[in-house]
């Protein structure tokens, strides 16, 4: 197992579109394991492969307090069903920033597990928010994009400044 490096906003690589997974092999299983490990260490509740610079449509998630309920979504597709909800979201690629984002309340998820078996579920609440957030990542989108231009600027400057500071400290 290994901890992977998480790309930090406004890294351009977060803007790429991930490719569907076609091969379900040991390499994919290792990626999922490493991603889970990285997510738990962060600590986070969801991680998309693109955030660790892997251009595959892979999402790991664990919403439980006990960190014992790992969910894996390969090639996830979302169908919006009904309602809207607002939730204060944060992102491992945008550390320290939390902002309220409006999402669809109830969605249907079609995805595959790590072996390639398809499954379907309907959900609302945090799982719904989280999967929408992660699928955005797979499409090159970050939750900051939903904020006003002014707030986006502020986030960008804050993170660039922090990155500069940590770089100079390292040097």
Residues that are catalytic? 134
Smallest distance, other proteins to C-beta of residue 144, A? 12
Q: Are 70 and 32 in contact (CB under 8 A)?
A: no
- Minimum Å gap between C-beta 168 and other proteins is 25
26 or 96, CB closer to other proteins? 96
Contact 60, 27 (CB under 8 A): no
Identity of the residue, 75 or 132, whose beta carbon is nearer to other proteins in the bound complex = 132
Residues that bind other proteins (CB under 8 A): 42-47, 61, 88-92, 94-95, 98, 129-130, 133-134
Q: 3-state SS string over 57-79?
A: CEEEECCCCCCCCCEEEEEEEEE
* Count of beta carbons in the 10 Å neighbourhood of residue 39: 25
Q: Do 24 and 115 touch, CB atoms closer than 8 A?
A: yes
Q: For residues 78 and 92, which CB has a smaller minimum distance to other proteins in the complex?
A: 92
CB of 44 to other proteins, least distance (A): 5
Q: Least distance to other proteins from the beta carbon of 134, Å?
A: 7
Closest CA to 55 of 37, 31, 39: 31
- Residue closer to other proteins (CB basis): 18 or 91: 91
Tokens of 99: 């902002």
Instruction: Determine whether 86 is exposed, middle or buried from the number of CB atoms within 10 Å of its CB (0-12, 13-18, 19+).
Output: exposed
d(C-alpha 53, C-alpha 85), whole Å: 30
């Amino acid at each position: 197992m290994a901890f992977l490096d998480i790309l930090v906003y406004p890294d351009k690589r977060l803007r790429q579109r991930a490719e569907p997974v076609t091969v379900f092999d040991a390499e994919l299983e290792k990626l999922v394991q490493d991603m889970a490990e990285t997510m738990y260490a962060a600590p986070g509740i969801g991680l998309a492969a693109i955030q660790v610079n892997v251009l595959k449509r892979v999402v790991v998630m664990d919403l439980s307090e006990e960190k014992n309920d790992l969910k894996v979504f390969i090639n996830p597709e979302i169908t919006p069903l009904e309602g809207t909800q607002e939730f204060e979201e944060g992102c491992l690629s945008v550390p320290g920033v939390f902002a309220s984002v409006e999402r669809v309340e109830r969605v249907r998820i079609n995805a595959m597990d790590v072996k390639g078996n398809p499954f379907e579920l309907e959900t609302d609440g945090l799982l719904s928010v989280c999967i929408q957030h992660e699928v955005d990542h797979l499409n090159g989108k970050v939750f900051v994009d939903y904020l006003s231009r002014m707030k986006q600027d502020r986030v960008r400057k804050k993170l660039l400044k922090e990155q500069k500071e940590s770089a100079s400290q390292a040097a």
